[in-house]
Structure 1
Amino acid sequence: MVYRYEPDEDAFLEYPEPGYSPTGPAAATPPPAGPSPSRFPTPSLPPARTTRPDLDDEARAPAPAPPAPAPAPTPGRPAPPGEPFPVPQPAPPTPQPVPAATTRPTVPIPASPAFRATDVSELPRNRRADRRGGGRVWQTLIGGAAVLLLLSLTGLAVAALLDERSATPPASEPTPQPTVAETNPPSRSDLDSRDTDQASLTVRELFPGKQLVVTDGKPAYRVLKTQTSANCAVAATGEIAALLARLGCNQVVRGTLRSPDGDHLLTAGLFNLTDLASAQRVRDRIRPLLDDRQGRFRGLAAGDDTEAVEKAAARVGWQVRGHYIAFCLVTRADGERIPTDDARARDIMYDLIELHLNRGVLDRRASGGTAGQPTDGPTEDSAGQQSTD
C-alpha cells in the first residue's frame, strides 16, 4: 500500500472567502451537497460471491490493479481534499479445503496393466465356490442323519411287526376265551315270591314223558295220569282244601305214577302259594288237620287197577321250597294198609319230593340253584288217609 506525504498547510487549509472563484479543474465540479466526506473513506471490499470459490478459479483470477497515484498539488491553490491514509485491509480469508467428494468430481484412476478384467470376476467366484463347498458339506451331513433316522424307524417297525406276529396265534388255532364264573345268572329266578317267579307251572315241566327216571342207573317210574288245575281243592279235602284257598293257592299240578316194582301207586305234585310265608303257614297247619281228621290229600285215579290211590289208606309227605309246597301220597296197589315201617314207601316219597320235585323241577326253575333249600325233610303222616266210603 502506498502512503503520500502532505504538508501541514495543505492539511489544515480553510475554505476560500466567498466570491472566490477558482480556476482550473476544481472550479468545474461544485462540491457535493450534504455532509463533507470523511477523511477516512470506507475501504472497498470485493463483491460477495454466492458460490464457494474454487481453487482453480482463484488461480485463474487476474491480479488487482495498483491504485492510481494522486495528482500533485498546484502552488497558490488549495489542495484538493487528499486521500486519507489508507487503512490496512485485512487479508482475504483463506478458503477452507472442501472434501473432494463434494467439491471436485471423482477422477477414476486407470487400472494397472498387470490387473486383468478377469481378476475382478475370479475373486467373487472363488468365494462363491467356497460357500458352495461348505453348503454341500452341511447338506451331506443332514442327508446322512435323515437316512440313519429313516433306517432306525424302519427297524423299529419291523421289530414291532415280528413281535405282533409271534404274539398272535395262527388263524387255524382257536383263541382261548376267558372263563367268567357267573354268580348271578341273568335268568335267575327268586322262588320266595310269586312276584319274582311269575311263570305258571306246567305238566310238561313236572312230568315230561311217560317214564320218569329219578336217578340214573335205577328203574324208572311209569306215569299213568297228570292234571293241572287252578282250583287247589281238587287235590285236598276238608280244612286242608279251605286253608290252601285262604292262603292264596292258585294252581296245583299233580300226576299218578306206578313204582318200578309195580307194588305201589302214588300221586305227587306242587301247590303254588303266594309267597314263602303263606307256604310255611300251610305246612305248619297240615299235621294238626290230619291228626284231627279234618282233611286229607286226595289221590288221582288213573283208570283200572288204580282206585286204591284214591280210596286206600296212604302214607303222606310234604315239603316247602320257596312259595311252593311239594307233596306225595303212597298207597299199596292191592289196597292193603301200609305199615309204618315200610321202607319202600319212604324211599318212594324221597325220590319224588326231594330228588325229582325239589332238586329237579324247582332247581331248574331257580336257574342255578341259588334259592333257599328246605330246612327240613319231607313230613310223613298216614292219619286221615282212610276211605270215606
Structure 2
Amino acid sequence: MVYRYESDEDAFVEYPRSGSDLPEFTPGPPAPAGPSPSRFPTPSLPRTTRPALPAAEPIPVRSSVQIPPPPTLPREYAPAEPLDPPKAGRSDSGRGGGRLWQVIVGGAAVLVLLALCGLGAAALLAERSPDDDRTAAAPQPTTAAPVTEPDAGDLDSRDTDQQPLTAREVFAGKKLVVADGRPAYDVLKTHSSGSCAVAVTGEIADLLVRLGCSQVVRGTLRSPDGDHLVTAGLFNLTDKASAQRVRDRIRQLLDERQGRFRGLAAGDGTEALSTAAARIGWQVRGHYIAYCLVVRADGGPVPGGDTAVRDIIYDMIELHLDKGVLERRAAGGTAVQPTARATEGAGTQRGDANPDELPGD
C-alpha cells in the first residue's frame, strides 16, 4: 500500500536561509485546540456496510399467573384432621429440616444399637470353644463329696480341731527318734490330764485356766547321752490368740518368779526334774503350746551356753512336737497348710525343794 501527500506542506521543506527567494516563516494565529489532523490520513478503502439485525419481537407479559388447583385425593387418603397452619416466623423449610435431623439421629441410634449387639454376640462366640461345647454336651459323672473325719480341722481353733490329744499320739513307744540317723531318746513316762495346773504353778497356772486350757499331755525322756532329763508336752488352748497371749506372758512370770513349769518325775534317778534348775523352751502352733524342760541328770546347774541343752530343746519342740505330732494332726484333717510358726521362747527356772509328785498313767 502506497501513501501520498495531500499537499506541498506535508513535504519536507528546508528552513529558508537569509537572502534566499523563499518566503520567511511568519507566525500566524494559534492552532485550534483539539487533536491535530493526522499526518498520515486513512487510505481510501471501500466502505462495507454492517448487516442490520431484525428487531426482536416483544414478549407478552401476563398481568396475572393462574395456578392450577391441587388434585382432589380419594376419601380414604384424605387427612382426618386439618393440618395446623404454620406459625409466624416458622417456614415449611424449617419443619422439613427438623424432620430430616430426626430421621438422621434415629437411624444413627439404630446403627449403634445393632453394632453393640453384634459385638456382644461375637464376644460370646469367641469365649465358647468347641471343647466347651463337647464338655457341656457330655454328661458329667456325679462324685460324692469327701467325707472328713470328725476330728479333722484347722489347728488355729479347737472348734475345727475338736479331737483331744492322747498320750499315745504324742509318745507312741518307748523309744523316740526325732530324725533319721539320729540316736533315740528313751521314753520313761507319759501323762495326760484335763487340768493344766498339774504341769505348772503360780500365775502361769492361773493364766492357763483363765484362757481356757483344757488339756496337757507330757512325757519324761532321757537324752541319748544319758546326761540330761527332759519333760516335754503340749497345752491345749481354746484358739491361737489365747495360746499367743500365754506365750507372751510366760517369760515375764518366770523372771518375776511368779510361776514355774513342773518336771514329771519317773522314778529313781529322775529326782533332778523336780529339784534342779532347768532350762525351758516354748513355742505356739495353732491353739497348742509346745514346751520342753531340760535338767542335768546329776542335778547340777545348766550353763547358759550349753549347746547340748539347746539341741535337746530343738529336738523336742521343733522336730518332734511341731514337725511330728502337730504336722500329722494337721495333714490328717482339713488343714492343708501348717499354721505360721510362732516365736520360740526360752528361759531358766530354779529348782523346787519340795516338788509335788504326780501319778503316772
Residue matched to 1:285: 249
Larger radius of gyration: 1
Residue matched to 2:4: none
- The letter for the 2-side match of 1:336 is G
Task: Tell whether 2:332 aligns with 1:365.
Answer: no
How far apart are residue 385 of structure 1 and its match? 2.8
Runs of 4+ aligned structure 1 residues displaced above 4 Å come to 184-188
Distance 1:358 1:218 in 2: 17
- Specify which of 331, 337, 346 is matched with residue 380 of structure 1: 346
Task: Tell whether 2:258 aligns with 1:294.
Answer: yes
Distance 2:299 2:155 in 1: 37
How far apart are residue 311 of structure 1 and its match? 1.2
Distance 1:304 1:185 in 2: 48
SS of residue in 1 equivalent to 2:218: strand
Q: How does 1:175-186 map to 2 (within 5 A)?
A: 186=148
CA contact (8 A) 2:219 2:233 kept: yes
Task: Tell whether 2:214 aligns with 1:250.
Answer: yes
Residue 189 to residue 379, structure 1, CA distance change in 2 (3 Å): same
Q: How does 1:17-96 map to 2 (within 5 A)?
A: none
CA contact (8 A) 1:313 1:331 kept: yes
CA contact (8 A) 2:203 2:259 kept: yes
Distance 2:167 2:257 in 1: 30
Task: Note the alpha carbon deviations across 1:34-86, whole angstroms, 9 max, x for none.
Answer: xxxxxxxxxxxxxxxxxxxxxxxxxxxxxxxxxxxxxxxxxxxxxxxxxxxxx
SS of residue in 1 equivalent to 2:187: strand
Distance 1:372 1:241 in 2: 26
How far apart are residue 374 of structure 1 and its match? 1.1
Distance 2:153 2:306 in 1: 37
- Specify which of 155, 159, 165 is matched with residue 195 of structure 1: 159
SS of residue in 1 equivalent to 2:292: strand
How far apart are residue 379 of structure 1 and its match? 1.1
CA contact (8 A) 1:229 1:253 kept: yes
CA contact (8 A) 1:297 1:385 kept: no
Distance 2:262 2:192 in 1: 14
How far apart are residue 369 of structure 1 and its match? 5.2
Residue matched to 2:193: 229
SS of residue in 2 equivalent to 1:375: coil
- The letter for the 2-side match of 1:212 is L
Distance 2:189 2:179 in 1: 21
CA contact (8 A) 2:281 2:345 kept: yes
CA contact (8 A) 1:308 1:334 kept: yes
Output the TM-score relative to the length of structure 2. 0.55
Residue 340 to residue 369, structure 1, CA distance change in 2 (3 Å): farther
Distance 1:273 1:334 in 2: 34
Residue matched to 2:300: 336
Residue matched to 1:171: none
SS of residue in 2 equivalent to 1:317: strand
SS of residue in 2 equivalent to 1:362: helix
CA contact (8 A) 2:253 2:259 kept: yes
How far apart are residue 380 of structure 1 and its match? 1.0
RMSD: 1.5
SS of residue in 2 equivalent to 1:262: coil
Output the TM-score relative to the length of structure 1. 0.51
CA contact (8 A) 1:315 1:385 kept: no
